[in-house]
Structures are given as structure tokens and as C-alpha cells.
């Protein structure tokens, strides 16, 4: 739950965007789509883990 979470997610987003452009320009639309999906999955896993930690924190503090 540190600041580098934002930079990690933004970095992955930028990389996927660049790769997507690269692949689609060179005619490989399928690989571009697969790269986007892979990037989405990676970021989703990171975000879901962090959301789990956040909800545990809230549950512990508000003793829900």
C-alpha cells in the first residue's frame, strides 16, 4: 500500500500501450490483443490483492 503502486500500474499501462501500438503497426493485431489482455490480467491481480488489503484494514479499524 505504498505510492509505488500507482507508478507500477501506470508503468504497465504505458508498456502495454506502446507494445500494442508497435504490434498493431507491424500488422500483428492478434499479438497486440493478447498483450493487452496479459497486461490487464497482471494489473488486475495487483489491484485485487491491494483491494483485499484495504478492505482488511477497514474491517480491522471499523471492526465491521
Partner 1 sequence: MNIFQIVGIAVTGAVFSVMLKGYKPEFAIFVGIATGMLLIAYAVSARGSVFDMIREIVDMSGVDEKYFSLLLKIIGVAYITEFSSEICRDAGQGAISAKLEMIGKLFIMFLSMPIIKSFLEVCIGAVNLL
d(CA 61, CA 8): 27
C-alpha cell at 12: 504497465
Among residues 29, 32, 38, 54, which is the contact residue for partner 1, using CB under 8 A?
54
In the chain, what is the straight-line distance between the N-terminal and C-terminal CA atoms, in Å?
A: 21
Among residues 38, 40, 41, 45, which is the contact residue for partner 1, using CB under 8 A?
40
- Cβ burial of 19 (10 Å; 0-12, 13-18, 19+) is middle
Q: Give yes or no for residue 22 binding partner 1 (CB under 8 A).
A: no
Q: Give yes or no for residue 6 binding partner 1 (CB under 8 A).
A: yes
Give residues in contact with partner 1 (CB under 8 A): 1-3, 5-7, 9-10, 12-14, 16-17, 20-21, 36, 39-40, 43-44, 47, 50-51, 53-55, 57-59, 61-64
Amino acid at each position: 500500500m505504498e505510492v509505488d503502486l500507482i507508478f507500477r500500474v501506470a508503468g504497465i499501462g504505458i508498456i502495454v500501450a506502446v507494445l500494442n501500438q508497435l504490434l498493431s503497426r507491424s500488422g500483428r493485431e492478434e499479438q497486440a490483443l493478447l498483450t493487452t489482455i496479459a497486461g490487464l490480467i497482471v494489473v488486475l491481480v495487483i489491484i485485487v490483492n491491494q483491494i483485499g488489503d484495504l478492505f482488511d484494514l477497514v474491517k480491522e479499524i471499523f471492526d465491521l
